[in-house]
Structure 1
């Protein structure tokens, strides 16, 4: 069993290795940290850590580096989140203030997070599955083209052009808008999707516009289906190339995961958070997802549709306390923005 001083030696090794990218030896620990014991005593502590598979020697006669298990112990028991500086907090606020819409807010969120951490930033969209449709608008762009706009109470907005098989006028649009709004407005996305899919024919007097109604209803159904799907937004993929030397193997699985997103969505959703809403999945813990070379840290944020997560992905040799603090700070600000937006409706 590792002693209390041995755990503090592990903390020193993790911190020094993350900072210097060099294996850490007993002499440097004595010089950099105030343990008040000899290098020989530190070597004994390091031997105990190595027996517990918390550190390892990358080369013969070298210093030691943390293992994935060592990082896990560090994150669970030894890491102390570092408060963000005033400049960092100001950067978050200035980046996220007055977004144009939810898409703009989520894009800004990952941009500021990758700037704060130097890692790939990830953010789940709020779930719109339980959101309600608050507004449907049809805007004529041409006699045979309309813009279909859907808005939910969780901030979701969809805009899509529908090419029509017939020409319609403003009076027709008003009738179609009223017909469709009566079916979906005020209803949850899932319920609205079913109802618009079961939409019956118009009254005989409006039979001429039936082809246009069918097309617009189909567009609405497809867009509501998009609302029900989990979505992920990312930024900073280029940082992987700059940090390639930090990975023991290939970064290609990470690039594939970024491109496909499904794997990252599953991993982000399955991460277990602590009592503060923080989570970390480290190295080999991600092997079932094909991402055994990477670590992900995340924080929950609150949204009208429930909770979602924002975080960063990078090599296991990352600054966990700083990255967790950045994810938590961004998540808290994001929660406040979404709460204010929801209460202001």
Structure 2
């Protein structure tokens, strides 16, 4: 192994030990634990070179070193193969997720799983409505003058809305309304469906126009994006176990995670379904997240990306483990929601 390869092995050893123990790593520990086949003097020289290049740093006067953001980045970029989850782990994930009863349950289970598997904060984005299509519109008559509209999408999303009609509607009129809405909207993407709904009041008879306008006005609310309910977070308490990883900034990170817009930006930055995106420390655009790392991926099918998911934690993160877990959960969620 040449000098560059050996230095990377030294960096890899420092990352592994620091992630595991949260203690600066010295040359003697590396020689004793990692069997690199070189002396402590050689390891010290390699550590000096890595420090000069900005890959590791000395936090205080101890002999140990810790990885920098630049060091973590090199480590992640050199992960040629991430240790896959075991067959038993994959079966457990699949079984847990397949036990879900609806979309909400799938995503809640996904967040819980990711938080448990990685011991980080897990984030899952609801399927984006722009990529969903209307599967069915149900019209339920609650009283002669009040309806409940239920919009069901192909991703399993169910949205219920109440409509006060201001007039009494007979059974036949309700059935006709149901037939008209499904004829116009079934199979349409939600963005197209919203446009189609706006046209419907002009296509009905004069006596039904007022009722149809009320129904369509409420229905449009179900067909447009709802940025306020598009995210699920889990495992936030995991951050508080690692207070030392966020010197003076844990509160900022927690507050940033409460801001939907901040988290959506983090997910949007890594919405590739084929590749994991890892943003480390200073690479994160929000200033509050500069002491954190974010591992994200998109989920869905090759043709249709439904949303993003990932984990947020300190830069001192088990990157191989986090990457494997995020990739596996995203894969199963995509399969379940698309029925493939």
What corresponds to 1:82 in structure 2?
83
Note the aligned Cα RMSD (angstroms). Answer: 2.4
What corresponds to 1:177 in structure 2?
178
Answer yes or no: is the 8 Å Cα contact 1:128–1:154 preserved in 2: no
What corresponds to 1:125 in structure 2?
126
Deviates further, 160-169 or 135-144:
160-169
1:42 and 2:43 are equivalent in the alignment: yes
Answer yes or no: is the 8 Å Cα contact 1:139–1:147 preserved in 2: yes
1:203 and 2:202 are equivalent in the alignment: no
Which one of the candidate residues 300, 322, 334 is aligned to 1:302? 300
1:104 and 2:102 are equivalent in the alignment: no
Paired with 2:34 and 2:75, the residues of 1 have a C-alpha distance of 17
What corresponds to 1:240 in structure 2?
239
Paired with 1:131 and 1:228, the residues of 2 have a C-alpha distance of 15
What corresponds to 1:281 in structure 2?
279
Report the CA distance between 1:184 and its aligned residue: 2.2
1:3 partner SS: helix
- 1:86-119 C-alpha deviation (Å, 9 max, x unpaired): 4432331232013222221111111111111111
Answer yes or no: is the 8 Å Cα contact 2:129–2:224 preserved in 1: no
2:129 partner SS: coil
Deviates further, 20-29 or 71-80:
71-80
Cα 1:185–1:333 change in 2 (3 A) is closer
Runs (4 or more) in structure 1 with deviation over 4 Å come to 227-230
1:69 and 2:66 are equivalent in the alignment: no
Paired with 1:71 and 1:212, the residues of 2 have a C-alpha distance of 61
Paired with 1:258 and 1:311, the residues of 2 have a C-alpha distance of 13
Paired with 1:176 and 1:228, the residues of 2 have a C-alpha distance of 29
Runs of 5+ unmatched residues, structure 2: none
Q: TM-score normalized by structure 1? A: 0.89
What corresponds to 2:136 in structure 1?
135
Report the CA distance between 1:80 and its aligned residue: 4.4
Report the CA distance between 1:243 and its aligned residue: 2.0
What corresponds to 1:325 in structure 2?
324
What corresponds to 1:27 in structure 2?
28
Answer yes or no: is the 8 Å Cα contact 1:116–1:326 preserved in 2: yes
1:22 partner SS: coil
Which one of the candidate residues 291, 294, 316 is aligned to 1:293? 291
Report the CA distance between 1:226 and its aligned residue: 2.9
Answer yes or no: is the 8 Å Cα contact 2:31–2:38 preserved in 1: yes
What corresponds to 1:251 in structure 2?
250
Matches within 5 A, 1:210-225: 210-225=209-224
Paired with 1:185 and 1:87, the residues of 2 have a C-alpha distance of 40
Paired with 1:252 and 1:79, the residues of 2 have a C-alpha distance of 35
What corresponds to 1:151 in structure 2?
152
What corresponds to 2:313 in structure 1?
314
Report the CA distance between 1:282 and its aligned residue: 0.5
Report the CA distance between 1:330 and its aligned residue: 1.0
2:284 partner SS: helix
Answer yes or no: is the 8 Å Cα contact 1:2–1:49 preserved in 2: no
1:266 partner SS: helix
What corresponds to 2:92 in structure 1?
91
Q: TM-score normalized by structure 2? A: 0.91
- 1:19-54 C-alpha deviation (Å, 9 max, x unpaired): 111000001111111012211111100000000100
Answer yes or no: is the 8 Å Cα contact 2:271–2:296 preserved in 1: no
Paired with 1:199 and 1:338, the residues of 2 have a C-alpha distance of 30
- 1:178-229 C-alpha deviation (Å, 9 max, x unpaired): 333333233221111012123334313xx1x544322221111011003799
Paired with 2:231 and 2:12, the residues of 1 have a C-alpha distance of 33
Answer yes or no: is the 8 Å Cα contact 1:282–1:296 preserved in 2: yes
Deviates further, 66-75 or 239-248:
239-248
Cα 1:150–1:305 change in 2 (3 A) is farther
